[in-house]
Structures are given as structure tokens and as C-alpha cells.
Amino acid sequence: MTVLLVPGAWAAFPDRPLKLVVPFSPGGGTDSITRALAVGMAQGLGQSVVVENKPGAGTVIGSDFVAKSAPDGYVLVMATFAHAVNPSLVAKLPFDTERAFAAVGMVARGPNVLVVRSDSALKSLRDVLDLARAQPGKLSYASQGNGTSAHLAGEMFDNLARVRMTHIPYRGAGPAMSDLLGGQVDMMFATAAAVAPHIASGRLRALAVTSSERSAALPQVPTVAEWVPGYSVESWYGLLAPAGTPPEVIARLHAAMVQATQTPEFKRKLEPEGLVVDAGSPAELDAYIRREEARWRRIVKDNHIKPD
């Protein structure tokens, strides 16, 4: 579809409701954060922002819907970690990740948390490293599936620390967490939202966060990088529009996004996720995604990772 720009053509944008696609099922962390953002953006834009869940195929279904939508700013997608990993994990994507989208802006970023059961003999990351080096393959870690952030966080740990642990993939974070709590696996590089209640109740112990800096939500917990130099894995959320969306529209959407992230209501939604607002520019998000895609392509290739 070709969009013809004429002076003032987008001055009235938006003049009808917008659609914000979540490529996951309702009820998860991405869904919750997106709905909070939609409320704030609606206030800034003066139009309703309707959240629509389009789960499936590791976010590919929802992303493809947006990639093939009209480039007029009325259909957006909340991209996550999976968006940067799928190009190297999925053999034939129905869109070109680098060319099908226009960045609106980063919304928030945060760490995963390496956790063990509270009764585990592993009291620190030093213990994990010592045991993993002494007995390769003995330690196991759960994930919500091959190619997920919890899985790739473990693969990067193995690579940079030069150890070998055993990855146990599950079909979802719920079953993975159940087996961790039940003692079937030793640890998990889980999202902060998934483990926060269990850390608070004393059922899990946090050994490290995967971000390059310590998390404000867990200030006493060290980073993996303090023991494994160069290590960094983040959960992130960023808004994307279809490629070809006019710059004037991108600028309007970005301004509304920034305004929405500064509200107390939105910041309260981030706290359980261990996330911090990072409302960057479109160019910054575009560069970030390209760096992440290149980084994870190497990890996926070197470790021969295949989707479930």
C-alpha cells in the first residue's frame, strides 16, 4: 500500500480509535503492561486505544497481523524479547523483521532473576559456578520453552562462564515454576513478575539478576555480570508500527507513549515486573532491536537451538 503525503495530511491524527496488538494471551505480564499503557496513550491522543490479543507461534501471529496492516498509525504491536530472537529461531517468518516495522519507542526494560528453592544448597552464584564446573551437566534449569528468555539466559550463562548445565524446557512458565518449586529442577532464569511472590513468601531465593546493573526491585541481589563479565539479558517492551508509517504519525505516537509512561498508574504496573521506564526515541529502539537480533543470532546458532 502506498501512502501519499500532502501538507497537513496527518494534522488531525488520530481521528478514530487505535488498535494495540498484544502477541500473547490475556492475563500475562505483557498484556497487563500494554493495557496500562493504552489507557495513558488514549488520554494523550484523545482517542480510544483498544488492546487486542493475538497469541500464537511465539508472537509471530500478532506481529504478522501488524506488519501487514495499513501504515497509518492506527495499528501497533507491543514487541518483546521474542521479536529480536525469532529471526534466528524461526526458519521462515512471514515478514522481514528489519523491513516490516517502524519503531515508535522503547517502553520499559528489566531483568530476569536466577532463582533456586529456599532449601537449595546453592546459596550464591559462586556456588552455582563451582558446582557447574566440577560436575558438568549436573545442574538443571527450567524454562517456559526453547528460545524463550529463560532458556537463552541459561545458554548465554553456559557460554560466557564456560560451564555446561542441563536445560529442561516446559510448555509455559506455569509448569516450569511448578517443577522448580517441587524440586524436579534446580533453578530458573525467570521473569521478576513470575518469581516475586515466591521470593516474598520465602519459597524461592534470588541468586542474581540478569541485567547489566542491579535492579531497584532487588537491590541486594548481585548481577550475573559481577561474576561472569559481559553477561546481560533483559526483558523489554517496545512499540512498533507497520513500516511506511509517516514520520509525523510516529512522532505523535511517541509523544503519547512517553506521556503515558510517566503516569503514577503506569509506573505502579511496572513494579511487580521489576521493570523501569525507558521511553527512548524511535531511533534508539530500532538500534537496540538490531543489536539484540545480532547478539541472539550468534547464541542460537552456536548452541544449535531449535523452536519447540
Please answer whether residues 166 and 145 qualify as being in contact, where contact means their C-beta atoms are separated by less than 8 angstroms: no
Provide the 8-state DSSP code for 222: P
More confident residue, 150 or 102: 102
Do the domains 111-226 and 18-109+235-302 match in fold? yes
Whole-number mean pLDDT of the chain? 90
Q: What ranges do the domains of the chain cover?
A: 18-109+235-302, 111-226
Please answer whether residues 184 and 175 qualify as being in contact, where contact means their C-beta atoms are separated by less than 8 angstroms: no
Q: What is the pLDDT of residue 308?
A: 64
Please answer whether residues 90 and 307 qualify as being in contact, where contact means their C-beta atoms are separated by less than 8 angstroms: yes
The CA dihedral of 276, 156, 227, 114, to the nearest 10 degrees, is 60
Cα distances (angstroms) measured from residue 63 to each of 21, 60, 107, 122, 207: 8, 5, 17, 40, 34
Average pLDDT over every residue of 166-177: 87
Please answer whether residues 51 and 34 qualify as being in contact, where contact means their C-beta atoms are separated by less than 8 angstroms: yes
| Range of lowest pLDDT (125-134, 174-183, 270-279) | 270-279
User: CA 279 to CA 276: how far, in whole Å?
Assistant: 9
Q: Tens digits of per-residue pLDDT, 81-95?
A: 889 999 998 888 999
Q: What is the pLDDT of residue 3?
A: 46
Average pLDDT over every residue of 159-188: 92
Q: Does domain 18-109+235-302 have CATH number 3.40.190.150?
A: yes
Average pLDDT over every residue of 271-279: 81
More confident residue, 28 or 104: 104
| pLDDT over 90 (residue 5) | no
Q: What is the pLDDT of residue 171?
A: 77
Per-residue pLDDT band for 196 (boundaries 50, 70, 90) equals confident
The amino acid occupying position 182 is G
Altogether, the residues listed in the chain come to a count of 308
More confident residue, 217 or 285: 285
Average pLDDT over every residue of 50-76: 94
CATH for 111-226 is: 3.40.190.10
Per-residue pLDDT band for 193 (boundaries 50, 70, 90) equals confident
Q: What is the pLDDT of residue 2?
A: 44
Q: Tens digits of per-residue pLDDT, 202-227?
A: 999 999 999 988 988 889 999 999 99
User: CA 121 to CA 181: how far, in whole Å?
Assistant: 14
192 DSSP β-pair partners? none
Q: Tens digits of per-residue pLDDT, 230-268?
A: 999 988 999 999 999 999 999 999 999 999 999 988 988
Q: What is the pLDDT of residue 268?
A: 85
